[in-house]
Structure 1
């Protein structure tokens, strides 16, 4: 399997994972929040959860679409800019009274994965050098 196929496959899996996470926030907001690392009182309003859910579904669809269609350069930009999301999510989790390294680890892994995919995608789509004199 080539680097291109591995990178696209990982991007596609990441996109599908994001769709799952977003759907969980939309369909089971309490379970989504606890999986995210935020524990809320029983009488909580789920407005934030729905906003996060649709954001994750959209992000996942974008990743899956670009990976599936082989749009490596746009996918590279989406993964680079998308790395901001788990960075903010990490800060949110760590700001909670229940925040811990264990709850932060999935967000840290997402950041590392997105940045590694970004490097791989930009390497794959590097413009051919033009040797003009």
Structure 2
């Protein structure tokens, strides 16, 4: 049962990261509003979309062709992104609810999934 939960959570995380990446590429203003800071003219939304989508592809490849430890390390290292996103939102006038309710909570989910995967 633990294996199903650990891998199921990893699959959900990878799918959501792919969705977020595509949303930043296809609807950047709405995606930026959901991120917690307004979209400004420039390339950051495209860079973020491309980064997230490629990270999802890497996560999918690890899920398909690797073991639980490799996916656990992916989740552990990946937790750095939402942790820094929390700081970015807070330092740029975004709401604390978005910073902690979305970004910090995502980091916690990634850390919990990493722990589950390492325990397999």
> Is the shorter-chain TM-score for this pair beyond 0.5, marking a shared fold?
yes
Question: Following the alignment from structure 2 to structure 1, what is the Cα–Cα distance between the partners of residues 51 and 73?
Answer: 17
Residue ranges of structure 2 left out of the alignment (5+ in a row):
none
Residue ranges of structure 1 left out of the alignment (5+ in a row):
125-133
Question: Following the alignment from structure 2 to structure 1, what is the Cα–Cα distance between the partners of residues 80 and 59?
Answer: 15
Question: Following the alignment from structure 1 to structure 2, what is the Cα–Cα distance between the partners of residues 14 and 20?
Answer: 10
- 2:74 aligned with 1:75: no
Structure possessing the higher radius of gyration over alpha carbons: 1
- 2:9 aligned with 1:10: yes
* Post-superposition offset of 1:54: 0.9
* Post-superposition offset of 1:21: 0.4
Q: RMSD of aligned C-alpha atoms?
A: 1.3
Contact 1:26 1:54 in 2 (8 A): yes
Normalising by structure 1, we get a TM-score of 0.83
Residues 103-122 of structure 1 aligned to structure 2 (within 5 Å): 103-104=98-99, 105-122=101-118
Task: Please list every run of at least 4 consecutive aligned residues from structure 1 whose deviation after the TM superposition is greater than 6 angstroms.
Answer: none
Question: Following the alignment from structure 1 to structure 2, what is the Cα–Cα distance between the partners of residues 46 and 26?
Answer: 13
* Post-superposition offset of 1:95: 0.9
Aligned to 1:131: none
The superposition leaves residues 80-119 of structure 1 with CA deviations (integer Å, 9 ceiling, x where unpaired) of 111110011111111122x222111110111110100111
